[in-house]
Chain A
Amino acid sequence: MKQELGKLPSFSKANLSQFRSFLFPGIIVILIVVSAVTILKPKLDDFLDLRRGLAKQKKELAQLSQKVAVLGGYDQNELKTRVNQVLKVLPIEKEGPFALATVRGLVSENDLELGNLEVEIGKVSTESAEVKSKKEETLPSLGIQLSVFGSLADLYNFLESVEAKAPIMRVQQVNIDREGTTIDTQIVLSTYYLVVPKEIGKVNRQVVPISAEEEKIYQELSDYQTVGDVAALPYISSGKENPFTY
């Protein structure tokens, strides 16, 4: 076959003109893909992240608004009064001497004669709460044992009044032995305390409103008063130098 000299191959020219028409769209597509991958996609990811964060922010705002609304509904002075009353009923630490003084005061108020009076304080450190009643395992308590003599009516009045005074006490056991007209009674009481919760003052804590049941409980214990003559125990500023002398 003869090759013609001085003439470009015809297929090459035709192809070039074909490619020229695809050149611009091709560049456009490449630019779109490159800009989409390098600019648009990261931006879109950022916006989507922001939107996801927005849902979280909205949730936080709703919680905060609810918290502010609930807290705004409380009267600070009323709350202080209530907290003081509740702390009087349920002290923050083991107040053995105070409980003993209360029991002693009530025994005398009800015309009973006091025999022995013991308190099982357990460890003096507040958080150790090892002495617990059988019934209430979660609320730390102190056991008080006492024996009293007197009339049955006075004893019953004592049993009633001891459960209606601050600090809170509950009768766990009563053993009554009649001796003629008088009675000899052994009583086991529990008095309770509760340390200040560790969560107090923490931020981002949900506020749970006081329920109707808890309001009833507060109304019940709002009448609990300390026994008159033990409201203020004498304060002794320091110990004695020699504890082995009386």
Chain B
Amino acid sequence: MAVQSINLLQPDELSSAEKKGAFFLKIGTIFLIVAYCLVVVAIFSFGLVVNRESQAIADKVEFEKTRLSELQEVESLQFLLKDRLVSLAEVIELDGLKPKYWLNYLDSLAPEGVGYDSVAWEADGTVKISGIAGNAIVLADFLEKLKQATDNKKIASSILVSATRQTEGVYDFNLEILIKEQ
């Protein structure tokens, strides 16, 4: 009967494939550690840069705020001035309708023999004129001048609302004129 023995000191012999595997495992682990460390360093460097930049900007913002507080009165004055000028732009129309100019102009259109009894001028450009013409010829002359003014785009429109011949031969007339903004 053969004797069977147990050799407890026999070392584990690894195959070359297993050795290769263990080597790559070690290398992989080292690579992982190095990569992780690089990532950590990168993240903290990024944080440091951002922190410094943030601090620098915060300092600048603080400085500008201090300067701004010194300019507070200027700011209030500028805002008030701006606000008023914007509002005044609604009223001050630089090329708006000037009553003196337009009333003078309409007076200049009336030929000899035509007189106005009343003139009603409104800011929207409507003018109503009531008057007397000595005869039909001067009335026609007046209407011709108004037509020319309309053709020359000096006024937008003129409407003869009524013309009534009186017994003495004079004509009462009513006109509605829309003057044009220059």
Contact = CB atoms under 8 A, between A and B. Distances in A.
Interface string B28-66: 110011001001100110110011011001101100110
A50 B47 contact: yes
Interface stretch (B96-104, B134-142, B145-153, B157-165): B96-104
Contacts of A28: 29, 32-33
Name, among A86, A138, A199, the residue most crowded by chain B CB atoms within 10 Å (CB to CB). A86
Nearest to A13: B12
Contacts of A194: 83-84, 87
Contacts of A170: 91, 123
A165 B18 CA distance: 104
Contacts of A22: 25
A182 interface: no
B120 A174 contact: yes
Given A76-B74, A135-B123, A40 B117 contact: no
Contacts of B28: 25
Nearest to B46: A47
B71 A71 contact: yes
A6 B46 CA distance: 62
A116 to B, nearest CB: 18
B48 to A, nearest CB: 9
B77 A136 contact: no
A64 B54 contact: no
Contacts, number: 197
Contacts of B168: none
Given A61-B61, A156-B104, A197-B83, A174 B119 contact: yes
B118 A90 contact: no
Given A44-B43, A74-B78, A156-B100, A24 B29 contact: yes
Interface in B74-89: 74-89
B1 interface: no
B121 A217 contact: no
Contact of A54 (B57, B80, B117, B118): B57
A137 to B, nearest CB: 9
A1 interface: no
B53 A54 contact: yes
Contacts of A58: 57
A173 B80 contact: no
A220 B94 contact: yes
Interface stretch (A96-104, A122-130, A203-211, A228-236): A203-211
A2 interface: no
11 contacts: A29-B32, A46-B47, A89-B88, A138-B87, A156-B100, A170-B91, A177-B118, A192-B91, A197-B80, A207-B79, A220-B92
